[in-house]
Amino acid sequence: MKLSVVNCAPVDEKEQFRYLKDCGFDAMDMGLGGYFDRNGRFGDIDNVTDEQIKEHFTMLRECAQKADFEIGQTHSAFSGHPRNYDFDYDEIVKRQIASIKATHYLGSKYCVVHPIILPGRRYDLLKQEAFDKSVEFYKRLIPTLEEYDVYCCIENMWVCDPVYGHICSTILSHAQEMVDMCNVLGDRFRICVDVGHAPLTQDDPCEMVRICGDKLAVLHTHDVDGISDLHTFPYSAHKAPHGMKPMRINWEDFMKALDDVNYRGNLNFEISIPGPVELRRAGLVYLSEIGKHLVSLRSVKY
């Protein structure tokens, strides 16, 4: 089981693979927002060419190969996505299509793409309307997914309750809805379980893994305090806020759940490294040691 982390190395993009390799990682989850978001390198999405995408991301793939490093998954650009009323679905689709092409040229098979979160879609409100809108959105990606041999991974999400100010469930927060979405969309769709998002919507990530089963393809692994989307190291959020008993992640049970579904993918960390940039290497080395410990808990080695 390879250890993977988001592209968070404080070095030039050509050198990041060697840097992360030296910190103990074998693979990367490459976020593509810095390339295809509105303010990204290729943010003028109507004028970026296929040749530009091919040239740049093939170059990065070759840099990774020289470092004996895998780009196991990507995360698509998502500026223009949900959480406001200013939707331009054509623009969103174009950014996802560019991300899928980049995923292919990076040598990866899996691209995580957020669903459409309609304003007001929280708890059970607008449940069918939001589901149908995301199905419509995801279907527009299928021709590109098939042409470039990439799988779209849907992710469990959250929103903020505007009345009480805390995180609550929305579209795809729950495992069965993700399975249902994949069943509707077909073979080009898989699931990314965001381990830290699950407790925030009162979902057990272990049970989520078991429900997703063989549709689970990639992970966003991180810890939370049950209240905020912290994206911190496993075992870091070990103390509950005073007077509260939010859901916690049992990491031993989580690794067993991966065994139960015969998960063969990477253990990928979607982590924000705290502190100044001078401490980034030390933080990554520590994170890789946590990863090695978690991998050692699996009864079957992949």
Q: What CATH code is carried by the domain that includes residue 180?
A: 3.20.20.150
In a domain, 278, yes or no: yes
In a domain, 302, yes or no: no
Burial 252-274 (b: 16+ CB within 10 A, else e): eebbbbbeeeebebbbbbbbebe
In a domain, 109, yes or no: yes
In a domain, 174, yes or no: yes
In a domain, 301, yes or no: no
In a domain, 263, yes or no: yes
Can you give the pLDDT at residue 112? Answer: 98
Can you give the pLDDT at residue 243? Answer: 60
Can you give the pLDDT at residue 84? Answer: 45
Can you give the pLDDT at residue 274? Answer: 87
Q: Any bridge partners for residue 76, and if so which? A: none
Q: What is the DSSP string of 231-294?
A: -B-TTS--SPPTT-------HHHHHHHHHHTT--S-EEE--PPPS-GGGHHHHHHHHHHHHHHH
Q: For residue 264, give the nearest of 39, 96, 109, 54 by alpha carbon.
A: 109
Question: Containing domain of residue 225, as a range?
Answer: 3-296
In a domain, 166, yes or no: yes
- pTM of the prediction? 0.95
Can you give the pLDDT at residue 192? Answer: 98
In a domain, 190, yes or no: yes
Structurally, the chain folds into a number of domains equal to 1
Instruction: Per residue of the chain (302 residues), give pLDDT as tens.
Output: 999 999 999 999 999 999 999 999 999 999 999 999 989 999 999 999 999 999 999 999 999 999 999 999 999 997 545 544 455 678 899 999 999 999 999 999 999 999 988 889 999 999 999 999 999 999 999 999 999 999 999 999 999 999 999 999 999 999 999 999 999 999 999 999 999 999 999 999 999 999 999 999 999 999 998 889 999 999 998 766 666 667 889 999 999 999 999 999 999 999 999 889 999 999 999 999 999 999 999 997 77
